[in-house]
Structures are given as structure tokens and as C-alpha cells.
A and B are shown apart, each in its own frame.
Chain A
């Protein structure tokens, strides 16, 4: 594996709320290689978004972040606000879940993209306009010369998400973090946005962190997958291994919950759900966080936190009883 572009070590995020601390992320480590697509999967509230937002400190001030996140030789978590602003949008950029509201309604889309360009790259207005047209073309927006002068409310959801992606790519970042970029879109548009992300990776060599709760999306585009549960890493594996030989019962549960109409003999199969709910993150459990919902849980799972173990090259799992079904 090439030298990692981003190396996160023991990242923990704690929110100090009025009702006490909430441990959103607990000692999470992962790496991202240049040009790699890493999928982060998990249920709502398992810490996927918080993990990524904490990297460039987009979280509210109540968040206490610890650990290291070395990007290109510097620890992002130790950077000053000033330096951090030069990283945000320039080196590491975000695409958010809600394309409908993430664009400022009173500016034309061309100006919003242009602002990033003039700010980070010091382009003149004319140059920024040229580059914006190029970017809109890159994200396959038809008639970019005209769309440039439109307001966000005149664009459809898919179109706006493309604009967001264009804006994120404006300064040719090394890492693109896409936080559920397709959740708010309908299925056909989802497919084309994913297609676009794949294309971006191939043409620009941008590493992508794709946050999603949809394993189908991940299968489509990711190289490696990180499954998170209750702020901890449950399993990490190359995408093919994860689908063919999932080890963690949680991963197996997630895979079982995907509808697969094309399976033929299985068409009448009832979708399996994972019983129970994500545990509250008020206090870190001194046991496997998944134990309460796990068919394999035993005394050991309920008394100790499982450490990550390597079951195959590059395939890690945090479970006392790993293995396929």
C-alpha cells in the first residue's frame, strides 16, 4: 500500500452536553491512500459524520476532540484556525447531505463556486468564471454557461448536488469527503451522482471518503469499507472481502437488510432486521457495544471490549466470535 495521505490515529470525539458527556467517536483509527475511495458505513448516530467533520473541525465548540489526524505530514487536529481555513475547501473539501439547503439562496451558483476559487487560488473574476464553466462541465451539467447565472432554487436536487460537488472540486483537493451525498436524491439521480464521483476519482485522482448507511452505494464505488458501530470500528476490509466474507455479526446484519430483488430464488425472502437499537453513547460501555443486539454475544462480549484482530490481510474485525454465518 502506498504511503497514506491521511492517517487517523485514536480519534475520539466527546460532546459535553447539559446531560453529561456523549462519546460520539471512541479511539477510531483509519488511513486513506491517495486516490482511494473509503466507504464509512453504519446506522444513524454511529459517529460517521462526526468522525469526518472532526477532521477539519467543523463541529460545534462543545466537541472535545483527541487523537491525531496526520494529513500530508501535518496533524490537522493541532492546526491553528487560520491554517485550518487554508486546508478546508483547498485540500480537504466536503459535500453535504442536503443539496437543497447547502447553497446560499441569494447568490447565483457561478458566484458561489467562483468565491472559493478567488479565495483559495487568487483567481480574477474572469478566470474564476472560466474555471467554473469547466467545473460545471466536469460534473456534467448541461449548458454550464447558462446555469452559471441561475439561482439555486432554479436547479433540481441532482443538479444542486452536482454544483456542490463542483464547488468541492474547485481547488482540486486531495481529499473529498462526501457525507451521504445521495440520500436526499431519488434513485436514478443517486446512480448518476455515484457515477460522477467514480469519474472524479479516475480523472483527478482525488481520494474520496464516502459516508453512507447504504451498503449498496459502497459496493458500487468504494475500494475499502469501514463499518462503524456506536463510535467504534466494527470491521474494516477491502470491499470484495466484506461482501463475500463478512466477519462481524453487525456487518452480516447490515448485509442481510439489503433488499435484493435480482436474487431470483430468494425473491420472497423476508428482509432481516437487526433487533434493538443503537446504544446510548452517554457512557462508554466496558463491553462489546453490539452485545445487546448480537446473536453471538456471550459472557466474554458482555465483560470486555473486543480489540481489533486481523482475520486476513487488511481485514480487521472487532469481535470475539468473528466469522461468516
Chain B
């Protein structure tokens, strides 16, 4: 009867947390993803502390040098330390990833929920506009924004966020459509709740796990997007480091120093892959049908 004993001793919330932790630890890919994500986030946050050099520091005695004790991953054509630039570059990626996703969530979730909750013509209008947005490539939007406001990380982030909105609207709408049919909705109405209370206090918390997973899966898209935009000169502007900028710089030296393209490329792949497997893992453990 140990099960009964734990019921008494451990608060329900703590027990659920324990269960989720156990399930999470059983998924090596997800754990690895989490570790890599944490490493990248720490690198971005602690860049001034852990980067051996500042991002712009040049060493003219070592142009395009190979790995050495002084420059662990070598240097680029201006003698800038590759490792330091990777670490500083993580800032742009993480920043774009998080802020674009947050922006998309803040915009998309309420719209999607309103569409799903009210249905009718409101839903039709939102769904059609969403379809149009889905058909509209975000890169055009980014180019437009850069043309109007000038290229910068902020504008790239906005473009990426807006690009992620239609997909999230669909997800929030679908969840709200399903949840509004739950019995607790009429029960809440019978207790005098108004639409706002129902949407944000009753329906939203029920879709939280879906949204968390979706956010984790949106971030890698935004990280890649940031690299793409910076590569095209629409995002982070040199000499500020970003993985996309580094790839762009490496292009001219591809035959002499291919490693300059390999390192930032690997960083992009690793970071987005890590967020993806973490998201998959979270989706699995938060799925109520999961039993192990």
C-alpha cells in the first residue's frame, strides 16, 4: 500500500512533478536536447564572461589560423577568435528564437482562441486571413521590413514572429474548438462566468501544455530564420557576430578555410535540433495518454 502512503504524504502537485521528471529522464534524446539547449542559453547569457576574447578583437598575427591553444577553433580572415564569435553569436540566435516565439504567441493565441470559442463569422474571417498569411513567405515580409525600417536583429525578430503567427493561430483555434465543448464550460457559464473569464481562465490553462510544446518547436524555426536573414544581410549587421553573418563571411574563404563555415553551420544545426528533440520529448511526457 505504498501508493496510498505517498498520496497522504506528498502534495498532488509535487507528485505530478515527480512523475513528469521520471518520464522525462526516461527519454535520453529529450535529456540531451535539454542539456544542449541549456548550454546554448548559458553561452548566450554569459558570453562576456566565458568568451575568451571580445567578438570584435582582432589578432593580426593569426589571420585564418588553424586551431591552437591561443585560439581553440582558429581565427577568421580578420584574426577574430572563432570560438568567441560563436559564443557571442549565440546571443542573436537565442534572442531571435525566444522573442520571435513570444511575439507570435502573444499575438496568435488570443486570436486563435477567439476564433475557436466564438466560431461563426468571426472564425471564418480569422481562418481565411490565416490562410492568406500562411501562403505569404516570411522572407518577403522580412525584406519588406528591412527595406522600410532598415535591417536589424529587432526587425528580423519581428518578421520571424509574424511569420510564426498563422500556424499558432490554427493550433490555438483547434484547441479552443475542442475545449469549448467540455462540460466545464457550461458549468462555468451557469456559475455566472463571462466570455473573457471562460476563455482566459478556463480554456487557456487547459491548452498550456500544447502551447509549451508548440513554443519549443517554434524556437528552432526562428533560430534558423535568424541565421537565414543575417546571412542575407537582412538581420544582424556585421561586425556584430551572428551565426548567419559568420556563414556569410566564410563564403569568400570557403576553399582556404572551410572550417569557418562548418562551425557556425554546426552551431545552427545543433541548436535547432536540440530545441526540436526537447519539444518532442515534452510533447510525449505531457500527453495524457503517455503511461511511461
Contact = CB atoms under 8 A, between A and B. Distances in A.
B183 A85 contact: no
Given A106-B208, A149-B11, A150-B12, A93 B183 contact: no
Interface residues of B, number: 20
A131 interface: no
Contact of B184 (A58, A94, A101, A119): A101
Contact of A104 (B11, B12, B184, B208): B184
B205 A106 contact: yes
Contacts, number: 65
A102 B187 CA distance: 6
A101 B182 contact: yes
B22 interface: no
Interface in A216-264: none
Interface string B171-186: 0000000000011101
Contacts of A136: none
B69 interface: no
A124 interface: no
Contacts of B2: none
Classify chain A's interface size.
20 to 34
Contacts of A93: 190-191
Given A85-B194, A89-B192, A151-B12, A106 B187 contact: no
Contacts of B201: 115
B187 A119 contact: no
Given A85-B194, A86-B192, A96 B186 contact: yes
B139 interface: no
A316 interface: no
Nearest to A115: B201
B93 to A, nearest CB: 33
Contacts of B12: 149-151, 154
B77 to A, nearest CB: 55
B6 interface: no
A98 B186 CA distance: 11
Contacts of B187: 94, 96, 102-103, 164
Interface of B: 11-12, 182-184, 186-194, 197, 201-202, 205-206, 208
24 contacts: A58-B189, A85-B192, A88-B192, A89-B192, A94-B190, A94-B191, A96-B183, A101-B182, A101-B183, A101-B184, A102-B186, A103-B184, A104-B202, A104-B205, A104-B206, A106-B205, A107-B205, A119-B193, A120-B192, A149-B11, A150-B12, A164-B187, A167-B191, A168-B191
